[in-house]
């Protein structure tokens, strides 16, 4: 019964501690790498929908010469 009364979220309000610089650098490098992969993926796959739509779209106007 005592465990149910203990609110773990109250422990989160304590003082924040600084992260070690080497851990911070590793996390920031991982985030930068993930962002780079997402941007490269968007670069190569982002416009496929508009390209396919443009290829399949037919003109309703006849070609005039």
- Rounded distance between C-alpha atoms, residue 15 and residue 11, angstroms: 10
Tens-digit pLDDT profile for residues 9-38? 877 777 778 889 999 999 999 999 999 999
Task: Indicate whether 48 pLDDT > 90.
Answer: no
pTM of the model: 0.49
Q: Where are the alpha helices (DSSP H) in the chain?
A: 2-5, 21-45, 48-56
More reliable by pLDDT, 24 or 42: 24
pLDDT of residue 50: 76
* 62 phi and psi angles, rounded to 5 deg: -70, 150
């Amino acid at each position: 019964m005592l465990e149910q009364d203990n609110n773990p979220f109250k422990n989160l309000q304590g003082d924040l501690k600084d992260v070690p610089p080497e851990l911070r650098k590793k996390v920031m490098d991982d985030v930068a790498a993930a962002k780079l992969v997402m941007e490269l993926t968007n670069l190569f796959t982002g416009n496929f929908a508009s390209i396919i739509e443009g290829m399949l779209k037919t003109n309703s106007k006849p070609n005039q010469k």
